[in-house]
Copies of this chain bind each other. A is one copy, B any other.
Amino acid sequence: MSETATPERLLQGITLTDPNSAKGRLLQQARLLFRQKGFEKTTVRDIAAATGIQSGSIFHHFANKEEILRCVMEETICFSLAHLQEQLKQANTTEAELRTLIGCELDAIHSRHGHDFTILGYEWRSLNPGNQARVLEYRGVYEKLWSKSLHDAKAKGLCQQEGFLLRSFIRGALIDTINWYKAEGELNLEALADEVYRAFFR
Contact = CB atoms under 8 A, between A and B. Distances in A.
Contact of A200 (B40, B41, B125, B199): B199
A161 B195 contact: yes
Q: Is the interface of A mostly helix, strand, loop or mixed?
A: helix
A176 B168 contact: yes
A121 B168 contact: no
B125 A37 contact: yes
Copies of this chain: 2
Contacts of A166: 199
A119 interface: no
Contacts of A24: none
A177 to B, nearest CB: 7
Interface residues of A, number: 31
A127 to B, nearest CB: 12
A134 interface: no
A80 to B, nearest CB: 18
Contact of A173 (B41, B169, B195): B169
Contact of A195 (B121, B165, B172): B165
Nearest to A200: B199
A175 interface: yes
A159 B124 CA distance: 34
A194 to B, nearest CB: 11
A165 B196 CA distance: 9
A164 to B, nearest CB: 9
5 contacts: A37-B125, A40-B40, A161-B199, A169-B196, A172-B176
Interface of A: 37-38, 40-41, 121-122, 124-125, 159-161, 165-166, 168-177, 179-181, 195-196, 198-200
Q: Which 7 A-B pairs have the closest CB atoms?
A: A172-B176, A40-B40, A169-B173, A172-B173, A172-B172, A173-B173, A169-B199
